[in-house]
């Protein structure tokens, strides 16, 4: 596995761990307030946007690095 694939998988894994942890915290501590749906309607799109920005910036970084031959 090359370093590019490893970084992408690490980023996705960390994003998944943070998303699950935040979702569990919201559901466990505030279930009566409807936090489960608030998490999926409010926080999940923001977290998905953060993941997309991270993956695109990593792709551009590695793409530039490969073009320069570093």
Question: What is the per-residue pLDDT across 32-44, written as a single tens digit (0 to 9) for each?
Answer: 656 667 767 777 7
Give alpha helix (H) positions in 1-70.
Answer: 3-29, 35-38, 44-68
Query: What digits encode the pLDDT tens for the residues 46-62?
Result: 888 888 888 888 888 87
Using alpha carbons only, give the angle 36, 8, 43 rounded to the nearest 5 degrees: 20
Residues 6+ apart with CB under 8 A from 38: 26
Q: Where are the domains of the chain?
A: 3-68
Per-residue pLDDT band for 2 (boundaries 50, 70, 90) equals: confident
Q: Which residues contact 22 (CB under 8 A, 6 or more apart)?
A: 39, 43, 47
CA distance 38 to 26: 9
């Amino acid at each position: 596995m090359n370093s590019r694939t490893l970084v992408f998988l690490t980023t996705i894994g960390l994003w998944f761990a943070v998303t699950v942890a935040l979702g569990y915290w919201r559901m466990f501590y505030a279930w009566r307030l409807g936090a489960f749906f608030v998490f999926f309607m409010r926080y999940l799109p923001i977290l998905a946007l953060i993941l997309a920005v991270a993956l695109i910036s990593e792709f551009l970084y590695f793409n530039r690095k490969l073009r320069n031959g570093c």
